[in-house]
């Protein structure tokens, strides 16, 4: 029996770890600090599956039949 990955589920949007330059651009664009980003816990199954660490910023790409594609951002924090 093969092991199931949470990333394979159709309801789980694409999650990517952003690099430092992308994070700087994001914070500058929205005129916010890192701490002002919405949070996601390090124990979240997707965070674990993609190997993100505390302090990483994730870019989440969601598809919607009415809204097209939207990007969401989350800061990985301790539990």
Domains of the chain, first to last: 9-77 (3.90.940.20)
Tell me the mean pLDDT in the region 21-33: 98
Q: Which two tokens stand for residue 47?
A: 């965070």
Q: Where are the alpha helices (DSSP H) in 1-79?
A: 20-30, 45-50
Query: For the whole prediction, is pTM greater than 0.85?
Result: yes
Indicate if the pLDDT at residue 1 is higher than 80.
no
Top pLDDT among 55 and 11 is at 55
Top pLDDT among 9 and 40 is at 40
């Amino acid at each position: 029996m093969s092991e199931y990955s949470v990333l394979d589920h159709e309801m789980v949007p694409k999650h990517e770890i952003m690099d430092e330059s992308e994070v700087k651009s994001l914070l500058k664009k929205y005129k916010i600090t890192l701490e002002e980003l919405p949070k996601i816990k390090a124990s979240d199954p997707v965070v674990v599956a993609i190997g993100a660490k505390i302090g990483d910023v994730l870019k989440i790409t969601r598809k919607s039949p009415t809204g097209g594609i939207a990007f969401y951002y989350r800061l990985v924090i301790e539990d």
